[in-house]
Amino acid sequence: MESFKDLSSCRYEISESNDGEMIIYLEGRIDADNASSLIESFGSLIRDRSPVSLVLDLKKVTYLDDFGALVLVELRDMMADAKGEFNLKNAREEVLFVIDSEAIAESPKLIKIRPPSMFVRFGDAILKYVSDVKYLISFVGSVCLAFTYTFFHPKSLRMDDTFLYMQKTGVDALPIVGMISFLMGLIMAFMSSIQLQMFGANIYVASLVSLAMTRELGPIMTAIIVAGRSGSSFASEIGTMKISEEVDALFTMGFDPTRYLVVPKIMASVFVVPILTLFSDIFAILGGLTVGVFMLDLTANAYILQTLKTLSLFDFFLGIFKSGVFAILISWIGCLRGFRVKGGAASVGQATTSAVVSSIFLIIFFDSLFAVTLRYLK
- Among candidates 236, 263, 258, which has minimal Cα distance to 247? 258
Residue 153 CA to residue 161 CA, distance in Å, equals 17
Least Cβ distance, residue 267 to another protein (angstroms): 33
Least Cβ distance, residue 64 to another protein (angstroms): 9
Q: DSSP labels for 201-237?
A: -TTHHHHHHHHHIIIIIHHHHHHHHHIIIIIHHHHHH
Stretch that binds another protein, among 137-145, 146-154, 319-327, 336-344 (CB under 8 A): 336-344
- Report CA 279 to chain centroid distance, whole Å: 31
Using the rule CB under 8 A, is 343 a contact of another protein?
Answer: yes
Give the list of residues 6+ apart from residue 366 with CB closer than 8 angstroms, or none.
322, 325, 326, 329
Binding residues for another protein restricted to 3-62, rule: CB under 8 A: 31-33, 35-36, 39
Using the rule CB under 8 A, is 180 a contact of another protein?
Answer: no
Binding residues for another protein restricted to 74-103, rule: CB under 8 A: 74, 94, 98, 101, 103
Using the rule CB under 8 A, is 66 a contact of another protein?
Answer: yes
Q: 154 or 344: whose CB is closer to another protein?
A: 344
List % helix, strand, coil for the chain (3-state, nearest 5). 75, 10, 15
Strands (E) in 43-148, as ranges, are 53-64, 85-89
Residue 267 CA to residue 348 CA, distance in Å, equals 24
Least Cβ distance, residue 148 to another protein (angstroms): 35
Stretch that binds another protein, among 83-91, 108-116, 146-154, 359-367 (CB under 8 A): 108-116
Using the rule CB under 8 A, is 249 a contact of another protein?
Answer: no
Least Cβ distance, residue 347 to another protein (angstroms): 8
Q: Please select the residue that binds another protein; options are 116, 342, 361, 369, rule is CB under 8 A.
A: 342
Least Cβ distance, residue 370 to another protein (angstroms): 40
- The radius of gyration computed from the CA coordinates of the chain, to the nearest angstrom, equals 36
Q: 38 or 217: whose CB is closer to another protein?
A: 38
Q: Please select the residue that binds another protein; options are 83, 112, 114, 375, rule is CB under 8 A.
A: 112
- Among candidates 63, 72, 6, which has minimal Cα distance to 29? 63
Least Cβ distance, residue 35 to another protein (angstroms): 7
Residue 73's Cβ-side half-sphere holds a number of Cα atoms within 13 Å equal to 20
Q: 19 or 102: whose CB is closer to another protein?
A: 102
| DSSP bridge pairs for 133 | none
Q: Please select the residue that binds another protein; options are 13, 16, 65, 367, rule is CB under 8 A.
A: 65
| CB contact at 8 A, 214 and 315 | yes
The burial of 3, by beta-carbon neighbours within 10 Å (0-12 exposed, 13-18 middle, 19 or more buried), is given as exposed
Q: Please select the residue that binds another protein; options are 1, 110, 118, 253, rule is CB under 8 A.
A: 110
User: Which residues of the chain form contacts with another protein (CB under 8 A)?
Assistant: 31-33, 35-36, 39, 63, 65-67, 69-70, 73-74, 94, 98, 101, 103-104, 106-113, 342-347
